[in-house]
Amino acid sequence: MEKNQHKYVTVAYSLFSDNAEGVHELIEQTNEQHPLQFISGFGTMLEAFEAQIVPLNEGDKFDFTLAVDEAYGPYVAEHVIELDKQVFCIDGRFDKDNIYPGNVIPLTNADGMRFDGVIVEVKDNTVVVDLNHFLAGRALHFTGHVVQSRPATDAEIQGYLNMLSGEGCGCCGEGGGCEGGCGGHHHGEGEGCCGGHHHGEGEGCCGGHCH
């Protein structure tokens, strides 16, 4: 790939990872009808994932594993934090319909970055939230094939930039919708378990319960 060239890529893949019991389990899967779509060079995919996929051609198969440090890093106990219950109040009332142990909720930090957190515990005055990515501490094993790979058009690049800036998705593959990383499931900034930047630190996570 030429330097600075953005490629429009779609892939059909299966993602596996070892669970806590050591079982190699299927995490997510896409197919040719609903592939993962992205434009390279914008940092929306894990760097190591993109490095494996972008050099491939249409029809090429792949089978590779990203180490923990190449994926979402180790699980960090300090990323489990307590937030004041007022963060989760709507019209002065605690949002008990959504804030309960095990639920995944969208949050924003002081910089406006959106990410997900898992409710661990609801206490009298605080809520314990786990900000680790749900695949933190796990190696990721990808198998699949490249459905499409070509230079992105100017319109697709502009549409992708619009999407990243929150203005909606105008062009991601000749008018197609932007299926977020890992089959369109959003797990954080850059979205998808293939995607993006780990929010991790939890700094500034105080402004931010959003629906």
Whether 149 contacts 7, CB under 8 Å = yes
What is residue 83's predicted lDDT score, i.e. its pLDDT? 94
Closest CA to 200 of 191, 185, 184, 188: 188
Low-confidence residues in the chain, pLDDT < 70: 1-4, 167-211
What is residue 113's predicted lDDT score, i.e. its pLDDT? 78
Measure the CA angle with vertex 104, ends 130 and 115; round to 5°.
Answer: 70
Going by their DSSP bridges, the two strands 24-29 and 7-18 should be labelled as antiparallel
DSSP strands (E only) in the chain: 7-18, 24-29, 36-39, 61-66, 80-84, 89-90, 93-94, 104-108, 114-122, 126-130, 140-151
Going along the chain from its start, the domains and CATH numbers come out as 7-73+135-184 (3.10.50.40), 77-130 (2.40.10.330)
Whether 127 contacts 85, CB under 8 Å = yes
Residue 163 backbone zone (phi > 0: left; psi -120 to 50: alpha; other: beta): alpha
Task: Tell me the pLDDT tens digit for each residue of 123-179.
Answer: 999 999 999 998 999 999 999 999 999 999 999 999 988 888 876 544 455 544 444
